[in-house]
Structure 1
Amino acid sequence: MTTGRLHLDGITKSYGSRVVLDGIRFDVEPGRLTGFVGGNGAGKTTTMRIILGVLAADAGTVTLAGAPVTTADRRRFGYMPEERGLYPKMKVLEQVVYLARLHGFGKADATVRATALLEELGLGERLNDTIESLSLGNQQRAQIAAALVHDPEVLILDEPFSGLDPLAVDVVAEVLQRRAAMGVSILFSSHQLDVVERLCDDLIIIAGGTIRAAGSRDELRTRHSTLRYQLDSAADTGWLRAEPGVSVVDFEGGSALFEVDAPATAQRVLRQAVDRGDVAGFAPRHPSLAQIFKEVIQ
C-alpha cells in the first residue's frame, strides 16, 4: 500500500472572535506514526475534523500527494473519534461487518476482514458480545477496528489509547505499527505522553491553536536538549558539586545527573571520573517528550 504525504498549510479556524487554529502547518508522512499532542482546547480535534472534511477551514489547504483532498480521497481515510460512535446493542462482529459493507465490501469479504481484525486486536472471544457489554477498553478496541476495517491509506485517531490498560496499549500499538509498515499515514492524538514518545516517529505539539514544535522524535530531542549527562561510577560522585561549570541535577552515591556549560567541561568531568574510579556509564541525556512539551508551550 502506498499513499502520498498529507500536508496542512495555513489552516485557520475561528468561531466569532475566538481563534481556534492560527496558520496550522504540518505534514503526515506515509509509513510513519505522527503523534499530535496538546492540552485540552489546544486545537487537536478541530484540526482532525478539518482534515476529514467534517469542518471547513476559514483559510488554508489540506492536500494529499500534492493535490487538494477530495471526497473520494476521504473514503480511503479511517477515523476514530474520541467519542465512541458504535451502536451499543449490536454485536461486535456484526457492527464491524456492517461498517465494512458501508465501504463497499461484500458480506463474505466483510466478515473475513472484520473477524481477522478483531482477533488481531484481541477481541476474538468477544465477537458475539454486544458493544455495551464490553469494558470501556474493549469498546475502544472495537472502535479502532471500525476505523481500520476498510484498509485505509490515511488513519486519523483521536485518543486511541484512552481507557486501555498497559497490555491493551501494547496490542493496539503493534497493530498501528504494522499498518505504518504497510505504508499507511497515521496521525494520532494522545494525552499519554509516554505512549506517544515510545510509539511515534514524528511529533507535533500544538498549544493555543498554533504549532509550537514539529519534527521527528529524534530531531526534537536534539533541538531541545541541554548539555545534560548521566555519570555512573563505582566511586562516589559527590565531588561533581564542586566542579566549575557543572550543575548537579540529581545525585545518589555513584550516580549523578548533571548539566555543563560546554562540551569541553563534560570531557573534563569524564577524565576526572576515570581517574577516581571505574566508570560504568557516561552518556548524554536527551529530554523526555514531557519535558519538551512543557518547554514549548510556556
Structure 2
Amino acid sequence: MTGSPTVRRRRLAAALRRLREQTGMTADQAAKEVGISKSAISRIENAQVSVMPPVARGLLELYGVEGEEVDALVQVARDARKRGWWQAYDDVLPDWFEVYVGLEAEASEIRAFEPQLVPGLLQTADYARAIIRAEHPDALTDEVERRVELRMRRQTNPVPPKLWVVLDEAALRRPVGGADNFRAQLQRLVEAAEQPGHTIQILTFDAGEYGSMGSAFSLMTFPEPADPGVVYVETRAGSLYLEGQQVREYSRVFEHLVATAASARESRTLIQRAIDEL
C-alpha cells in the first residue's frame, strides 16, 4: 500500500517547518538559499503544494539533515507527488474537498458528528443521490452520477478506518429520497452498527441542548505518529482543516456528545424503531 499522497505531503510539510525553525532560519532566508520564493516556502510548509524532490533535498541539506534521513524524506516528497485514486474525479471534486478525501483514505480512525445527515461513508447510493441532487439542482444526470460514484468509491478502502459516529435523531426522521430509499438507508445504519470497529450513537431529542448543535465535524487520526490529527469542518463555501489545540478542543466536544447520546445498543434500537415507523 503506497498510502495517501495527501498525508505524505502533510508529513513532509510538518518536518520541513520543524527543521527550519530548529535552525532559527526565517522562511525568507531559506527561500533565498535554495532559490525559490518566500511564498513557495509558505505553501510547502502549509502542505498547500507538493515539493519537488530536488527542492526537498536542498532544504534538508540546508537545515543540516544528513544521510539516510535525507533519503527517507526525499522519498516522502516523491510519494507526495503521486496521484491518488480520487484525482480521477477532479471534474466533480473541488480542491477543498480533495484534501479531505486524501486524508480519509489513510485515516486509522474517524470520529464524526452529524446533526442532519448520515455521513458519506455510511450512505447508500440512493440516499447520496437524493442529497447530491438537492445540493446541485442544476447538475446534469451524468454529473450527479459521477458524484455518487465518488461517494461510493470512498467506501471501498481496503483498510477502512474505525468509525465512531454520533447522529442527531433528526437524521433518523428526515425521509431523504422517499420512504423506501430512506428505509434502506436506515437499514444500512443498522448493519454498519454491527460491524467490528464501528460505533453509532444517536443523540435523542430528549437530550435537549448540547455542544456543537447544528455544526457537523470530523476528527481524523492516522496510524503514523508523524501524522498529526485533523479536524474537518465543512461549510457551504468550503472547508476548514484544524490542527493542534483545536483537535483537543473538538475531541472534548465529541466526548461530551458521546456521553450525552444514547448507548450503542440503545441507538440500534432507536434506528430500528425509526425503520418500523416509516
In the superposition, the TM-score normalised over structure 2's length comes to: 0.30
Write 1 or 2 for the structure with the bigger share of strand. 1
Write 1 or 2 for the structure with the bigger share of helix. 2
In the superposition, the TM-score normalised over structure 1's length comes to: 0.28
